[in-house]
Amino acid sequence: MATTSFSQTFTQTVKGQIVDTDTKMPLIGATVFLMDSDPMVGTTTDLDGYFRLEKIPVGRKSFRISYIGYEDVFRNEVVIGSGREVVLNLEMKESVVDLQELTVVASADKQNPLNSMATISAQQITVESTSRIAAGINDPGRTAQSFAGVATADDENNELVVRGNSPRGVLWRLEGVPIPNPNHFSNGEGGSGGGVSALSTQVLANSDFFTGAFPAEYGNALSGVFDLKLRNGNHEQSEYALQLGVLGAQVAAEGPLVKGKKASYLFNYRYSSLKLLSYAGIDISGGDIVPDFQDLSFKLNLPTKNSGRFAIWGLGGLSSAGYTALQDSTQWVYAGHRKSETEKHKLGILGATHNYILKNGKSYIKTVAALSVTDNQLFQDSLGAAYEKNLLHHEQFQHQTASVNSFFNHKFNSKNIIRTGLTFTQQGFDLAAKRRNYERQAIEPLIANEGHTNMLETYFQWQYRPNTQLKMNLGFHSTYFGINGDLLLEPRIGLDWKVSEKGSVSMGAGLHSRAEPASIYLVEVIGEDDITYTPNEDLGLTRAFHAVVGYNWNVAPNFKIKTEAYYQHLFDVPVQIDDPTGTISALNFSSGYVNEPLSNDGKGRNYGVEMTIQKFFSQDYYFLVTGSLFESRYTMPGQEERNTAFNSKFVSNLLGGKEFKVGANKQNVLGLNVRTIWRGGYRVVPVDLEASMLEGNEVRLYDRAFEEKVPNYFRVDLGISYRKNSPNRSWVLSLDLQNATNRYNVYDRNFSYETGNLEETSMLGLIPILNYRVEW
């Protein structure tokens, strides 16, 4: 609980638990110091590894954790407010040097990935960064858009183009188990993004994001991995938060389940409607059905004395959006004016986690089980001359998935650690889709299939650290996919070599694979004899070889420069058989399904170089500069290599922020943040304007597919916030401006037969996001 002295200096409690990274055993007697304190403020951990520091002044503070025989851990510039206690649950790595040789060297918190088996192309996403980045909207996906080699696909959603790959190659994991796309307004079958994350940062802990050459425990991913984690609630006292803004309302609560015990609860509920934006004249719905969504997330932390630590957690979300047709035919200028569309989405995930430390103190077993349900519906129709509704398209994809991930981790000594485990997924599905066939003048089925399939993944990893300069991770990942019977073995390797006190060379390489959604394998096609068949049941998984090498230079305690060069060879890529357009490759679309026979005869390659210049938050400011130059190419059978749709050639980001301590005692904070995004435009198939005008319908030049780009994408986001600390509570008022210059970036070019012109489809303009949040 925050306290105040007679001089009105607000203070707060900082507490947490310190454990061994590789065994999860509590570290007894570890020292925790408040840096730059005079006199020195510190404490030691108890028999369960817990520590507690009271009456720490509000503001940004740095902490150093030390333990004999372990590498020091630093947590720099931690935000301490008067509204809630600060919990630092940290892990320490055992040193590989003898105690006689041990020399403690102070180093800053570099926000290294949480997964100790990661060596390259990995970035930790902190909860603070999701709230600090301008227009980040507390969304991990929108936060990751600022990393090197990562680009936004569209302003309306948070899906990511990673190193030129299709967004469908991203894997989402929560608490160690694969989960469905955890975003509202899911963008279709196989899609990895949506309008906004269904997971509030109120329940998230720091997490990892990977952009290539993944460690052996990650499978069913080609381009990126989100490895999200949930935090535990405060087990000593109840705390609450309320947030109101143009995106809706949010309420959160946490506290002990039983006083005096370590068990805790944490939940967050959010209801959001974009009506306030529509009232302000900002239409992001495309019509008069205003998007709205709601979600509930929770975690119950249930430690025991002898049976390990249990947790029950979950996430549920509902979202809907759409637009209606104009009801006055005299206003019908474009075909879209007579069309209507409605989308509805349901998401539910319920999981349980068990961590058990073996009696030897060197091993632990972690098991996670989860049940998930998704239901995505889309309705499209058009008004006829008599205002009757004519069905254009209808789809409803339902999935029920049971997943289990269990692994065994053992530390032989400080130099040798192994981890081996498996992930089993059983997925039931009910897939239905139909559309109007204008040539046949009939409604034809695209897919009508229900059943189940499964995937079994196993993995083994060995980490070897012969000395303080070298770390090597070796392992393999195997995948069995039930629909087609594919069995794949994928070796992985990672290496990190400290060539100097400030510099290190890293590399990673390995094979990876990704399954398509069930609707791709079970799509139905009507043959020339009018017999329906499923041509894609034997379609294999898309595969890729990743190779990455990088150099990390710690220029100063809070300043680093990182470069990475990579090459990705993609093979067994699903492509349309005898495709007359030469464009239907899994590398060119981000979501949805193809109602055509496919084969694994496609190929692709991505290669490029990235640079990150990062000044971590210190001295009240930070900045991040990232740049990437790359090529993304694909090949169809019997055709020349082409650009993929996502080959924008370059992407760059510049973001930074400054905080000002204000108020009588300098205990309140004014924050200013800015982010600029500049990248090449995505590729399109050119329109033959003359032929389109003659035919009265759009004609594309498929022989020049993806040679042409839309104009380069440029966006500036601004953010301003003010934190007010008061006795026992604090509040934050923030305003974010996405696309502050109101620039309408071009998404595509289309022919309008109504006007006979080539017209551009633009992304969103200025979007203001105002929030007020209070914590107590």
CATH of domain 227-775: 2.40.170.20
* Rounded CA separation 456/476 (Å): 14
Q: Which residues of the chain have pLDDT under 50?
A: 1, 3-6, 101-109
What integer pLDDT is reported at residue 106 of this predicted model? 42
Beta-carbon contacts of 316 under 8 Å, excluding residues fewer than 6 positions away, are: 295, 296, 297, 347, 348, 349
pLDDT given for residue 275 in this prediction: 67
Pairing of strands 10-20, 90-92: parallel
Q: What is the pLDDT at residue 136? A: 83
Tokens of 539: 């379609």
Which residues, including other chains, have CB under 8 Å from residue 6's CB and lie 6 or more apart?
none
Asked whether the beta carbons of 2 and 12 are under 8 A apart, the reply is yes
Contact 214, 510 (CB under 8 A): yes
Q: Amino acid letter at 743? A: R
Domain positions in the chain: 1-109, 227-775
Give the pairing of strands 10-20 and 86-87. parallel
Question: Helix H segments across 158-274?
Answer: none
Taking residue 602's Cβ as centre, other Cβ atoms within 10 Å add up to 24
DSSP characters over 131-183: HHSTT-TT-HHHHHTTSTTEEES-TTS--EEETT--GGGEEEEETTEE----E
Cα separation, 86 vs 78, whole angstroms: 9
Other beta carbons within 10 angstroms of residue 327's beta carbon come to 9
Q: Are 188 and 520 in contact (CB under 8 A)?
A: no
Phi-psi region of 582 (alpha: psi -120 to 50; beta: other; left: phi over 0): left
Q: What angle do CA 513, 516, 518 make, to 5 degrees?
A: 140
Class of domain 1-109: mainly beta
Per residue, the 3-state secondary structure of 49-102, as one string, reads: CEEEEEEEECEEEEEEEECCCECCEEEEEEEECCCCCEECCEEECECCCCHHHC
What pLDDT does 6 receive? Answer: 45
Distance CA 511, CA 492 (A): 7
Amino acid at 266: L
Contact 219, 553 (CB under 8 A): no
Displacement of CA 577 from its chain's centroid (Å)? 33
Structure pTM?
0.92
> What pLDDT score does 5 carry?
43
d(CA 27, CA 47): 8
Do 734 and 770 form a contact (C-beta atoms < 8 A)? yes
Q: What is the 3-state secondary structure (H, E, C) of 616-663?
A: EEECCEEEEEEEEEEEEEEECCCCCCEECCCCCCEEEEEEEEEEEEEC
Quote the pLDDT of residue 664.
80
Which residues touch 445 (CB under 8 Å, ≥6 apart)? 433, 434, 524, 532
Which pLDDT belongs to residue 389?
A: 84
Cα dist. 701→378, 583, 633, 704, 705 in Å?
Answer: 30, 11, 19, 6, 7
Bridge partner residues of 146 (DSSP): none
